[in-house]
Structure 1
Amino acid sequence: MLGVWKDAVVDYVIKPEKVALRPGGSKTWTCRSCHRPHLHPGAGLCTKCLTPLPAEPQQYNGVLEDDYYAWKAAHRTGDFALRTAELTGQTDRLEAQRRQSLFQDVFLGDDDVPQTDSLELLSVTTTMEAGVDIGPLNTVIMANMPPTRFNYQQRVGRAGRRNSPVALALTVCRGRSHDEHYFARPEAITNDPTPPPYLVLGMASVFRRVLLAEVLRQAFEPLQSGNRRKGPDMTSNVHGQFGLAADWPVHREAVRRWISEQPDRIRAAGSALQAMTSQNITAIDPVAAVDELLDQVDEVAARTVGHPELSQRLAEAGLLPMFGFPTRSRQLYRSIPQKTFPWPPADSVNRDLAVALSKFAPGSETPQDGRLLRSNGVVSLVPSGRGVKAAEDPFGPEQLVAMCRICSHVDPRAVVDPETGSAGVCPACDAESKYYKAVPFREPAGFRAAREARDYGGYREMGSNATSARTATDLEKTAPRIHRAADDWLVVHTGSGDRYIVNTNAGKLFRFAKNTGSWRGYLALDNPKAEADLEIALGATQHTDMLFVGAKAALDASRGLRFDISKSRQIDGFPEAYHGRRAAWYSLAALLRRAAAPHLDVQPEELLSGIHGSDAPVAAPVMAYLADSLDNGAGFSTHLGSEGHIEEFLKAVDHYVQDLEAGHHALNCRSSCYACLRDYSNMRLHPLYDWRLARDLTDALRGRKLRIDPEEHGVLLKGWADEEPNVMLKETAAGPVALFTSDFTGEPVAVAVKHPLESVTEECGNERLQALRHEVRTGGLAGKVAFADSYSLDRTPAAVIEQVHTFAEEL
């Protein structure tokens, strides 16, 4: 068949320009099973039911009624127009309005011809999800499963309106865990109960930001000059017209004087903001709060790194409200705009900064109106008067951070060896330099696209480099430890911190050359041998509220438990796996997030979760964290971690675990599912999650007994023994072991299974494992014992078995 296809079919995809059509003859090969007629024998199988076709064809009698498609073609009942157009958030505003009207058969242009200009199908994004009535639709097709029930119902609700009481909604599921879950459980995406709406009025941090914004607005009013050309530059930033950060020392005394002379106006503003709020907000003294915040303004304004305009720098530091769209979006320009209105210009695409760092990174492609725009540089285009000004430097100041791939530790104050460029080993988990690297990054102001754009054929766009998000905070200063009455191993820190979103171009960094043309800015270099003016990663920081949960120390020698994710060796020299503990911390973070959402009566999307590698001496070197997804935070995480609420939240976590242990879920969920830890936003970590590991880590931190299942350990060992003849199972009083005999040494090695949190090292030995090792050695079963991590043996058995082979062959 491949010889017949030749270049007409590539990777089983037909190339239309290489294919010709020919009319059928007067013979048909009709399937004896389903009666489908074929105009040629093809591969000798029915194209519908795969039954072998008869060897001899039948004479075609030409009766149209015998062939449905021939009948439709002859009677012209199947021909209709299917003109399509794209409608997304990146479509020009005026063009978007025109396409919507054409789709509804409303022709407003003088040259519009209904027979040729009408649209029968719109290809849309989430811009059409809510608040849009596009007319009497009868069909909605979704190319993937929407993230949540809310999104699904909003999208299918576009159809069946007005005079279309009956409509069809078709969802095409992709081959990923999210889509597969709802494909198997369609009732969950269609009929899950709608949560009640909510309004949070008890977050002190939000009150303080809005209060400071209003006080500074009033305090700066007397400083505004009537003639902008002669007076100081107060900027036109959406966060406030408070001048440049460098000018704050000039304005500081005047602002403080106004505040000291106007306590009544400050209290009036505070009283208006405190109306209908909870007691913890009404108890705040507005004047004292502003005095306290002004000290923080001094500190933020004096920083050497940050936005030049004071109001935006304060917003990014969490002292003022963050208005996301105007300042956190980035443009990909196809050409230099000639007009300042409308802005963003029509010939551009915009994304949130965190997404743009990946989707607009040089080399990436972005679809727009059937074309793929390829990003090839970084620019800064700003409306100025009647024109658009291109800045020389489109980057913010350079920052150097060291990041660990193992424990997600971030150090913005890393010291790099000038000769080797190494930041050393990770101070949190001791990961070597290949996992712990220092990265210079700068925040881009905007991006430019190459002049040429290729047709978008529906295939995935190329070069979308992934970004990684890590947290960094000073636990002792900005996220202090919360006092808890309970005497267990769990420690809690809460406060503010930064999330670093960095695109390292797969570790290769981006190489730029300065552009002297009209665009200014920098062009990305494709040639690795070309000399670069700049070699950096692309990144940004997000300030938000955080909650950290960890252990008192890395090791609990009294119970023989280990909480860090550092590499080590067991007593007999077998590598001590850290992968199970790493999965446990990630699973705990997801568990905290899922328990926090109903406890706060918010959607899980309001919170982010992950692990945080810490080198602070106040806790174990790895912690699970929750962070508010909003810039600067909404106060959810700090509320959960406060002294007055942390114990109540931990009880909610216990109740959530009890629900997961209920018969139906525990029997049907082996590791994780959408009923426990998974959701659309954390698909990347689905293979890592295990709700039982999260439960066990919670129990260990709360001082409870670790749950060990010897039967499960025996099943894991039996699975290995069934596949390898050199393995023999043995039952001991302390648990099952497998005896592996190497062909190289002829000496048996005992392999037992341990829980990921159990430790069997020289400095911290678990009593159960020590007893098992003692029984193996005194019973003469083997001279060396290797304890395999149950998580690793279950998830990656080949890697564990290879380690056992290597260990057994060591003399």
Structure 2
Amino acid sequence: MLRCQRCQHTETSDYQFEDTVCPKCAATDEQGFRSFQWAVPLAFRTSLNRGDDAKSEYDVLITGAGSVAESKPQDFNLVSNTNTQIAFSESGRVFRINDNRGQLFKGAIGKASFGQGEKLLPNQWIDERFQGKNDGVKFQKQGESEAIAIVAPKTTGVLRIKPVTVPQGLCLDPVAQGSAVKAAFYSAAFILRAVAAQELDIDPEELDVSGLRQVELEDTGEKVGEIVISDRLANGSGFAYWLANHWQDILIDKILNSQNTFASAIMSFEHRQKCDSSCYDCLQQYRNMNYHGLLDWRLGLSLLRALTSSHFSCGLDNDFSPPDLDNWLETAIQLRDTFCASFSSCKPQEFGVLPGFQVGDKSVIIIHPLWNHNNCFGLLANATATVEASIAVRYLDSFNLLRRPSWCYQSLGN
């Protein structure tokens, strides 16, 4: 199996393990590219000993994504009156992967015996951690040791969603530095799942967010994110297909026009006042704990607006009236002031209407997470123009300033 943590490209067949870089984004091992063997167990076996008493307290182990969809070329269709193109497959391949936190499982096939040797079981794959241990099994290896991931595959309905074009001045590349754009796509996916589940009157767990990968737009070559949503049940339940057929209604009417009670609740004044990114009243759930650090309902809604219209400017036109952009300038100023109070070498400064600060010989401008600082437009272009040409300009987004100010400060030295 090929798996790239950088662009989320996944392949399972006809892959040559001699290759050492991702075929899609050219990521190396250090950047998250991995190729590994995988196996689908027919069953699992315990050590057959008496075991230990259950512990009343234990640590919760947070593992990787619940499921990932195989990356396969598909024909996308433009959804009218939106900036979205979608592709649905009723026979998509989705994998739940356990790679032992990236370390893989190391073991071999052989004969295992339990107890006093009276229980002999041939052709058993036993992990090295349990071979010949006092509390393990007696084991006679018959083949070479190998490192594998355990995979549970299924064929089910898979829906892929990506933008048609990138609105001017925005960045929709999930691999962009800082993880903010990735957070926007994942947040949008969980909003979509919650709204679709409410409309269908089903448990949100009936739909899986099965990955987010970086893809290139055919016309422009720009890199954007592709959301993958699949049915939880093998062979499909029809829910992802329903979402594909009702995309325009869900996106425009139910979410952005707040005709769905979940959507209206997260955009309500009361929720806006108490939730700065995500909470258990909006996007956070026990089963998506892996994503809690990324979830942000404001970013998710802004991303959905970009999927609605190619003219969405996300505040670059000085329009911060949508609920997801409401008070963004004030919040950016507060984040800037808190940051400068924490790092005394930073001196607050204004760049047009945008807040920022001076640190050393650099001018730093605070930007919205979806703004493209490599192609400045609107307010950002005006703010950058206020800086003298001889002074280096750097950018920090409000997403990272809120979550990891120390990382932001260190990034200014790179």
Task: Give TM-score, length-normalised by structure 2.
Answer: 0.81
- 2:249 corresponds to 1:652: no
Query: In the TM superposition, what whole-angstrom CA distance separates every residue of 1:694-740 from its partner, at most 9, and x where no partner exists?
Result: 01111122223314522222111111111222211122324222001
Q: 2:366 aligns with which of 747, 753, 769?
A: 753
Deviation at 1:614, TM superposition (A): 5.1
8 A Cα contact 2:64 2:290, kept in partner: no
- For 2:171 and 2:59, the matched residues in 1 are separated by 43
**In structure 2, the residue corresponding to 1:753 is in which secondary structure?**
strand
Deviation at 1:586, TM superposition (A): 0.7
**In structure 2, the residue corresponding to 1:751 is in which secondary structure?**
strand
8 A Cα contact 2:195 2:254, kept in partner: yes
Aligned partner of 1:433 in structure 2 is 29
8 A Cα contact 2:78 2:164, kept in partner: no
Deviation at 1:773, TM superposition (A): 1.4
In structure 2, give the amino acid aligned to 1:598. Answer: Q
8 A Cα contact 1:472 1:500, kept in partner: yes
8 A Cα contact 2:364 2:394, kept in partner: yes
Deviation at 1:601, TM superposition (A): 2.3
Deviation at 1:514, TM superposition (A): 2.4
8 A Cα contact 1:515 1:522, kept in partner: yes
Deviation at 1:580, TM superposition (A): 0.5
Aligned partner of 2:96 in structure 1 is 501
In structure 1, give the amino acid aligned to 2:294. Answer: L
Query: In the TM superposition, what whole-angstrom CA distance separates every residue of 1:48-78 from its partner, at most 9, and x where no partner exists?
Result: xxxxxxxxxxxxxxxxxxxxxxxxxxxxxxx
- For 1:473 and 1:803, the matched residues in 2 are separated by 32
8 A Cα contact 1:545 1:628, kept in partner: yes
Deviation at 1:775, TM superposition (A): 0.4
**In structure 1, the residue corresponding to 2:111 is in which secondary structure?**
coil
Aligned partner of 2:277 in structure 1 is 671
Aligned partner of 2:337 in structure 1 is 718
- 2:226 corresponds to 1:623: yes
Aligned partner of 1:543 in structure 2 is 155
**In structure 2, the residue corresponding to 1:561 is in which secondary structure?**
coil
Query: In the TM superposition, what whole-angstrom CA distance separates every residue of 1:651-707 from its partner, at most 9, and x where no partner exists?
Result: 212224444221111112221123321223212222221100001111122223314
- For 1:774 and 1:464, the matched residues in 2 are separated by 48
8 A Cα contact 1:587 1:677, kept in partner: yes
8 A Cα contact 1:750 1:785, kept in partner: yes
More strand as a share of residues: 2
8 A Cα contact 1:614 1:623, kept in partner: yes
Aligned partner of 1:601 in structure 2 is 201
**In structure 1, the residue corresponding to 2:234 is in which secondary structure?**
coil
More helix as a share of residues: 1
Deviation at 1:495, TM superposition (A): 2.1
- 2:335 corresponds to 1:739: no
Query: In the TM superposition, what whole-angstrom CA distance separates every residue of 1:34-53 from its partner, at most 9, and x where no partner exists?
Result: xxxxxxxxxxxxxxxxxxxx
- Which sections of structure 1, spanning at least 5 residues, go unmatched? 1-400, 568-576, 742-747
**In structure 2, the residue corresponding to 1:798 is in which secondary structure?**
helix
8 A Cα contact 1:586 1:610, kept in partner: no
Please tell me whether Structure 1 or Structure 2 has the larger radius of gyration of its CA atoms.
Answer: 1
Q: Rate the CA distance shift 1:640–1:455 in 2: closer, same or farther, 3 A.
A: closer
Query: In the TM superposition, what whole-angstrom CA distance separates every residue of 1:339-358 from its partner, at most 9, and x where no partner exists?
Result: xxxxxxxxxxxxxxxxxxxx
Q: 2:47 aligns with which of 450, 453, 467?
A: 450
Q: Give runs of aligned pairs for residues 522-533 of structure 1, distance below 5 A.
A: 522-526=125-129, 532-533=144-145
Q: 1:513 aligns with which of 73, 86, 108?
A: 108
8 A Cα contact 2:186 2:212, kept in partner: no
Aligned partner of 1:139 in structure 2 is none
Deviation at 1:467, TM superposition (A): 5.5
- For 2:372 and 2:193, the matched residues in 1 are separated by 28
Q: Give runs of aligned pairs for residues 454-493 of structure 1, distance below 5 A.
A: 454-459=51-56, 466=63, 468=65, 469-476=67-74, 480-486=75-81, 488-493=82-87
Query: In the TM superposition, what whole-angstrom CA distance separates every residue of 1:457-489 from its partner, at most 9, and x where no partner exists?
Result: 51567997945421125342xxx3234221x43
Q: Rate the CA distance shift 1:514–1:611 in 2: closer, same or farther, 3 A.
A: closer
Query: In the TM superposition, what whole-angstrom CA distance separates every residue of 1:539-587 from its partner, at most 9, and x where no partner exists?
Result: 121211122221125x54xx111111234xxxxxxxxx24110111110
State the percentage of identical aligned residues: 23
8 A Cα contact 1:587 1:689, kept in partner: yes
- For 1:798 and 1:636, the matched residues in 2 are separated by 42
**In structure 1, the residue corresponding to 2:89 is in which secondary structure?**
strand
Q: Rate the CA distance shift 1:485–1:457 in 2: closer, same or farther, 3 A.
A: closer
Query: In the TM superposition, what whole-angstrom CA distance separates every residue of 1:600-651 from its partner, at most 9, and x where no partner exists?
Result: 2222122122433154755954222322111111111112212xx2222222
- For 1:412 and 1:454, the matched residues in 2 are separated by 36
Aligned partner of 1:273 in structure 2 is none
Aligned partner of 2:410 in structure 1 is 802
In structure 1, give the amino acid aligned to 2:68. Answer: R
Q: Rate the CA distance shift 1:602–1:620 in 2: closer, same or farther, 3 A.
A: farther
Cα RMSD between the aligned structures? 2.8
In structure 2, give the amino acid aligned to 1:590. Answer: F
8 A Cα contact 1:585 1:611, kept in partner: no
Aligned partner of 1:22 in structure 2 is none
Aligned partner of 1:770 in structure 2 is 381
Deviation at 1:510, TM superposition (A): 1.8
**In structure 2, the residue corresponding to 1:676 is in which secondary structure?**
coil
Deviation at 1:532, TM superposition (A): 3.8
- 2:284 corresponds to 1:681: no
Deviation at 1:438, TM superposition (A): 1.0
**In structure 1, the residue corresponding to 2:152 is in which secondary structure?**
strand
- For 1:607 and 1:407, the matched residues in 2 are separated by 22
Deviation at 1:417, TM superposition (A): 4.9
- For 2:367 and 2:62, the matched residues in 1 are separated by 38
- 2:17 corresponds to 1:411: no
Q: Rate the CA distance shift 1:417–1:601 in 2: closer, same or farther, 3 A.
A: closer
In structure 2, give the amino acid aligned to 1:508. Answer: Q
- For 2:14 and 2:224, the matched residues in 1 are separated by 17
- For 2:181 and 2:43, the matched residues in 1 are separated by 40
Task: Give TM-score, length-normalised by structure 1.
Answer: 0.43
8 A Cα contact 1:416 1:438, kept in partner: no
Q: Give runs of aligned pairs for residues 38-437 of structure 1, distance below 5 A.
A: 401-413=1-13, 415-418=15-18, 422=20, 424-425=21-22, 427=24, 429-434=25-30, 435-437=32-34
8 A Cα contact 2:175 2:182, kept in partner: no
Equivalent pairs, count: 372
- Which sections of structure 2, spanning at least 5 residues, go unmatched? 113-119, 132-140, 321-327
Aligned partner of 2:134 in structure 1 is none
Whose relative contact order is higher, 1 or 2, with alpha carbons under 8 Å and at least 6 apart?
Answer: 2
Aligned partner of 1:302 in structure 2 is none
Q: 1:730 aligns with which of 342, 349, 355?
A: 349
8 A Cα contact 1:442 1:536, kept in partner: yes
- 2:186 corresponds to 1:586: yes
- For 2:203 and 2:107, the matched residues in 1 are separated by 41
8 A Cα contact 2:188 2:300, kept in partner: yes
Aligned partner of 2:392 in structure 1 is 784
